[in-house]
A and B are shown apart, each in its own frame.
Chain A
Amino acid sequence: MVNYFLYITHITGFLPLLVFLFNLKENRNKSIRVIIYYIVYSLINEGILAFLRSEVYKGGKEIEAIIVASFTILEYFFFAFFLYSSLNNKRNKKALQIGSIIFGISSILNLYSNLHSSPKIEVFDTLTVSISAITLIVFCLVFLFEKIQKPEIGFIYAKKSFWIVIGIMIYFSGTFFLFLQYSELSEKEQENFWIINWFCIIIKNIFFAIAFYLPEENSNSIPDNASELFYLNDQD
């Protein structure tokens, strides 16, 4: 079953990319493109990590730790950039900037201390991942709160940004406790519980694929027959 999940995770990794290429015309937005760069980067990262963990590679764990830490940092900044361009309120944008600077500094210091000060190199840096998850979840909530405050004529689930944000939220909230407790778990437990991560990655990839499939966000308008359909569907 573990292998089965692993294969599905790898396959769904390509799903958003394929949908993006298939629907290139509808994905010209800069903030949306950042997500596709992230997907390409995570696929490359997976490849590199697979090589480093294989029997072919004979080196130490240092490079693996650097690559994993870099992925955490870059993943954060990809999502932070997306959220920054999706947020409307200037104060929220400023808060995200400050949060990102603090995260950047703390994660670099943490990586340095992991590589140079700690007796044993930890490949998976729990602290950095947890800070990243909390910050991104908070700003995803801020994004959704902004959407609630600014009522638009147009369903929220018809927007690309919504699907991306809920993809990010589900991924980070689902893996939050796993990443937080990861260093406390035995190797066997880490292996068993890692299925949560795969499950969340699958959900995230599906949501990103939906986002890339949707038409471009260009107006607040609704289709001509939307009100008619709405009234027909909602009788409560």
Chain B
Amino acid sequence: MFFLQVNNQHANVSIVLFFGTIGMLALTIGLIVFIIFHQRKVIRYQMTLQKMEYEQQKMLLNASIRLQEEERQRIAADLHDDAGPLLATARLYLNENLVNLDKTTQLQSIYNAKQIIDDTIQLIRNISHSLMPPTLKNFGLESAVNDQFQKISSSGSINASCRFHDYKERLQSDNELIVFRIIQELINNILKHSNASFIHLTQNNNGNKFYIRMHHDGKGITQADFERMNKSSAGLGLKNIQSRLKVLQGRIFFEKDASQTYYKVTIELNREENL
């Protein structure tokens, strides 16, 4: 209404002013609306990522708790089924009537009880070693892996070899244990599922990165399989590997060799963070 009252000689100025103002306001409002919607989109994307990460962490945590429970059950079973009966038998040999028996029988009973107690000691030592390998604790990852591979190789069913190219500086002892457990889990998987005839492990450093690579000629998995299994409820061992690597802030890659003959698993760690 007001804009219609302008004089004809200033009509152009008025038109520029009127449409210019409308245009500027439309541009500004359009820009503001765009920014709001863009930001909402970004937030929505971030929330989806967060939700996925949260679910992944929840899965890893569940896997780690389940694995811990399984380990406890195994130790409990070992103690209950093996150590328990052994000690009960030793107790039978050393009962109160022993003093009333003749000397030869007494000596025989004591000898038997001693044998059983020795067996029990060995059993407990084995359990303890499975919990924390003494070679790893005393001599480090290289010796522990060598030891493990020698044991596998000596079984005769599979050829296992390993070589550490550059391991002068040891990782922190806690981190060595985590890496050792990951290697154990990977070996376990290869032995259980791959039907491989050999496993070869190499260790290398490249700048700030620490690499462990395993080759085998059996049936393996690729990165896509690994990620799929990580997202599903299956693959407890793989989830355990993933959660252990998360502690080390490391990465793992599963791939098939370019020749399509071998499967490779590469573990990558930052040396500075783990030394």
A residues in contact (CB < 8 Å) with B? 1-2, 141, 144, 147-148, 151, 153-157, 166, 169-170, 173-178, 180-181, 184-186, 188-189, 192-193, 195-196, 227, 230-231, 234
- Which residues of the other chain, A, contact B2 by a CB distance below 8 angstroms? 2, 192-193, 195
Cross-chain contact of A153 among B21, B32, B35, B46 (Cβ < 8 A) = B46
Complex contact B35–A174 (CB within 8 A)? no
Q: Say whether B10 faces chain A, with CB atoms less than 8 Å apart.
A: yes
B35 lies within 8 A of A177 (CB): no
* B-chain residues with CB within 8 Å of residue A178 when the two chains form the complex: 17, 21
Q: Does B43 contact A (CB under 8 A)?
A: yes
Which of chain A's residues has its CB closest to B32's CB? Answer: A166
Other-chain contact of A151, B14, B42, B51 (Cβ < 8 Å):
B42
Which single member of B13, B25, B32, B39 contacts A184 (CB below 8 Å)?
B13
> Do most interface residues of chain B lie in helix, strand or loop, or is the interface mixed?
helix
Task: Contact check, B27 vs A230: say whether CB atoms are below 8 A apart.
Answer: no
Q: List 16 A-B contacts (CB under 8 A).
A: A1-B1, A144-B31, A144-B35, A151-B43, A166-B28, A170-B25, A173-B27, A174-B24, A176-B21, A177-B17, A181-B17, A185-B17, A189-B7, A189-B10, A195-B2, A231-B47
Cβ-based interface call for B76 (8 A)? no
Q: How many residues of B contact A (CB 8 A)?
A: 32
Counting residue pairs across A and B whose Cβ atoms lie within 8 Å, the total is 93
Question: What 7 new A-B contacts, CB under 8 Å, besides A148-B35, A184-B10, A231-B47?
Answer: A151-B43, A177-B21, A177-B24, A186-B10, A188-B7, A189-B10, A192-B5
CB-based contact A147/B21 at 8 Å = no
> What B residues does A169 contact at CB under 8 A?
28, 32
A173 to chain B, nearest CB (A): 4
Asked if B229 is an interface residue, CB under 8 A from chain A, the answer is no
In the complex, which residues 142-173 of chain B have their Cβ closer than 8 Å to any Cβ of chain A? none
Q: List B1-54 residues whose CB lies under 8 Å from chain A.
A: 1-3, 5-7, 10, 13-14, 16-17, 20-21, 24-25, 27-29, 31-32, 35-36, 38-40, 42-44, 46-47, 50-51
CA of A174 to CA of B6 in the docked complex: distance in angstroms? Answer: 19
In the bound assembly, the distance between CA atoms of A156 and B5 in angstroms comes to 41
Which chain A positions have C-beta within 8 A of B36? 156-157
A188 to B6, CA, bound (A): 8
B42 to A, closest residue via Cβ = A151
- Alpha-carbon separation in the docked complex, A166 to B29 (Å): 9
The answer to whether B39 and A155 touch across the interface, beta carbons within 8 angstroms, is yes
User: Which single residue of chain B is at the shortest CB-CB distance from A166?
Assistant: B32
C-alpha spacing A135/B51, complex, angstroms: 42
A181 and B24 CA atoms in complex are apart in Å by: 14
In the docked arrangement, what's the CA distance between A189 and B14, Å?
A: 8
Docked complex Cα distance between A155 and B36 (Å): 8
CB of A197 to closest CB in B, whole Å: 10
Pick from A173, A185, A192: contact of B13, CB below 8 A.
Answer: A185
Complex CA–CA separation, A169 to B33 (angstroms)? 13
B52 to chain A, nearest CB (A): 12
Tell me the nearest residue of chain A to B20, going by C-beta: A177
Interface centre among A147, A177, A188, A195 (most CB of B within 10 A): A177
Known: A177-B21, A192-B2, A227-B47. A186 touches B28 (CB 8 A): no
